């Protein structure tokens, strides 16, 4: 006598794999990294920390190389970040907000972008430390990169005037990090469009 295995599935339990993968990777990222830095410990462990950061960037670069090169014709035609479909970053004084547009789970074009399937409902915003940015970008599914390996970068609009210099230094750090990862940077100005 053989016994059949029974499996239980529920429509409410099944979610798009890309959303679950992104959420799990980001949760693991926050679980593995601490929220506090000890400056004395950071000063003594800086050579190890620098080599760990280089290793993390190299690992992320290898995974991101699987995403095709960017299609300049597609991403330069975008006139606002609301219609930008690739990941983009808002750089702030102490962190970066990663904006990801998750792929639509419904393959039908019926109602897409309308009242029942708004584009904004698929956008996820995650605050990430700059040092954790390579791992966070690596966790984004390939379906969220329709323009190829390009990321728009903007400065935070609501930063106080006293923090503007610090935010600009963070933008430069993020741009260098993205370049090290092999990602094309599309620096977004506050008036709309690229600065260069």
How many structural domains are present in the chain?
A: 1
If residue 124 lies in a helix (H) or strand (E), which one and from where to where? strand 123-128
Cβ neighbours, 10 Å, residue 11: 6
Helix (H) or strand (E) holding 6: none
- Does residue 7 belong to any structural domain of this protein? no
Tens of pLDDT, residues 61-108: 788 888 889 988 999 898 888 889 899 999 998 899 999 988 666 667
The verdict on residue 41 lying in a domain is yes
- Between 177 and 17, the higher pLDDT residue: 177
Q: Is residue 2 part of a domain?
A: no
pTM: 0.64
Domain span at 28: 17-187
Q: Is 165 exposed, middle or buried (0-12, 13-18, 19+ CB in 10 A)?
A: exposed
pLDDT at site 137: 93
Residue 153 within any structural domain of the chain = yes
What is residue 121's predicted lDDT score, i.e. its pLDDT? 72
* pLDDT on residue 3: 47
Model confidence pLDDT, tens digit, residues 16-60: 445 555 555 555 554 544 444 444 444 444 566 577 777 777 878
Q: Quick check: is 193 in a domain?
A: no
Rounded Cα distance, 190 and 152, in Å: 12
In eight-state DSSP terms, residue 41 is H
Instruction: Please indicate, yes or no, if residue 128 is contained in any of the structural domains.
Output: yes
| Strand partners for 128 | 96
Q: Which pLDDT score is estimated for 10?
A: 40
pLDDT tens column, 102-135:
866 666 766 666 666 666 677 889 999 999 999 9
- d(Cα 138, Cα 150) in Å, to the nearest integer? 13
The pLDDT score that the predictor gives to residue 158 is 83
């Amino acid at each position: 006598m053989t016994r059949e295995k029974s499996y239980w599935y529920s429509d409410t339990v099944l979610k798009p794999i890309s959303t679950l993968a992104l959420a799990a990777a980001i949760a693991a990222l926050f679980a593995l990294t601490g929220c506090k830095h000890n400056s004395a410990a950071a000063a003594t462990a800086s050579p190890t920390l620098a080599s760990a950061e280089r290793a993390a960037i190299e690992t992320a670069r290898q995974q991101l190389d699987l995403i095709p090169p960017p299609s300049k014709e597609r991403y330069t035609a975008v006139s606002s970040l609301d219609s930008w479909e690739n990941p983009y970053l808002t750089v702030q004084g102490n962190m970066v907000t990663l904006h990801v547009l998750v792929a639509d789970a419904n393959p039908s074009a019926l109602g897409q972008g309308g009242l029942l399937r708004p584009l904004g409902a698929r956008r996820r915003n995650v605050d990430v430390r700059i040092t954790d940015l390579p791992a966070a970008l690596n966790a984004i599914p390939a379906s969220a990169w329709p323009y190829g390996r390009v990321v728009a970068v903007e400065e935070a609009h609501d930063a106080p005037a006293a923090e503007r210099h610090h935010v600009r230094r963070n933008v430069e750090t993020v741009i260098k990090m993205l370049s090290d990862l092999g990602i094309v940077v599309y620096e977004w100005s506050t008036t709309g469009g690229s600065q260069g």
